[in-house]
Amino acid sequence: MEYRIAVVPGDGIGPDVISETIKVLDKVGEKFGHKFHYTEVLAGGAALDATGVPLPAETLEVCKNSDAVLLGAVGGIKWDTLPGDQRPEQALLGLRKGLGLFANIRPAILFDQLKEACPLKSEITAGGLDIVVIRELTGGIYFGEKGFRDTEMGKAAYDVEIYAEEEVRRIAVVGFETAMKRGKKLMSVDKANILESSRLWRKVVTEVAKDYPEVQLSHMYVDNAAMQLVRNPKQFDVIVTSNIFGDILSDEASMITGSIGMLPSASLREGNFGMYEPVHGSAPDIAGQDKANPMATILSAAMMLRYTFNLPREADAIEAAVSKVLDQGVRTGDIMSEGMQLIGTSEAGRRIREAI
């Protein structure tokens, strides 16, 4: 089979981790008889420097005409002083909206080999952690009306949190469908004691639950959820929540599993199209120094094989290879611990390819 992948290396360590991921995909293609065709495009700070805009029209067009998108990272301190609508992060928002990617799936898995890297007490994490955060990605405060106005207290800025019923319904369905494939337990996180948008969220999610009688649905306020993730993370299996709450909670979930450098993500629309990227940021301070951990991006490619290309054996091969490399006692800097051997980006990629 042949597949077309739009590749967005982006900024900072994005090109470093993308390079190793492409090599891994080529190894998978060689072993299983597939051919991956890559088209590299600009987005983020790299696009700003080259074209003056964070998301060129050509980039969006190439992504739309591909089977999937593989993205490294965008942003960096170099562009931090730009106005909000010109910042590199606008490329992510534009890609999500332009491609209709309304569902962000972030698995937070504590690899047994990395249990020492987890900041929680061992009695809390004994037996490992396996949580999936499903974040609504194209609605809410990030896409609501925003602006400035004058007030008695001086100039004020505002960002509107807004959700329509169908926006909530379709992400709730993703949550329930995911729960059906796992432990049949879904936690919906909101702030329904304060926010009207959250009260609508809870109402719609409860309505959708009627179509999934096998799934145990619970509700939790976001502040309590943030506390419970570090107090008793094992109570969670699948979490579904809004854009801003999901942004925060998925990062928290990633850190309790040892390292944000290990965690992949998938952003999906209806059907099988998706954009795949690591959860970590651009880390410009270590860019080009062979220090970045490529495993989150490589695991994102495994998600691409599983969700978009329907190649579960190939996805399993990548995930097993990452686990084998961790078994070898080698670590990149972000997951380094006493007694382990420090390796760089390229060596991590090479070992994963050999393990496939």
Catalytic positions, written as ranges: 142, 191, 223, 247, 251
Q: Is 94 helix (H, G, I), strand (E, B) or coil?
A: helix
Q: What share of the chain is helix, strand, coil (3-state, %, to 5)?
A: 45, 20, 30
Q: Which of 247, 241, 244, 240 is nearest to 215 (CA)?
A: 240
Q: How far is CA 225 from the centre of its chain?
A: 19
Half-sphere exposure of 95 (CA within 13 A, CB side): 34
Q: Which of 69, 100, 98 is nearest to 5 (CA)?
A: 69
Q: How many CB atoms lie within 10 A of CB 227?
A: 12
Q: Which of 106, 129, 131, 110 is nearest to 237 (CA)?
A: 131
Buried b (16+ CB within 10 A) or exposed e, 5-42: bbbbbbbbbbbbbbbbbbbbbebbbeeeebebeeeebb
Question: For residues 51 and 20, is the Cβ–Cβ distance under 8 A?
Answer: no
DSSP secondary-structure letter at 87?
A: S
Question: For residues 68 and 6, is the Cβ–Cβ distance under 8 A?
Answer: yes
Q: Which of 327, 314, 232, 311 is nearest to 272 (CA)?
A: 311
What is the identity of the amino acid at 162?
I
Could you give the C-alpha distances from 101 to 64, 97, 217, in angstroms and in order? 11, 6, 24
Place of tokens 């089979």: 1
- CA dist 347 and 356 (Å) reads 14
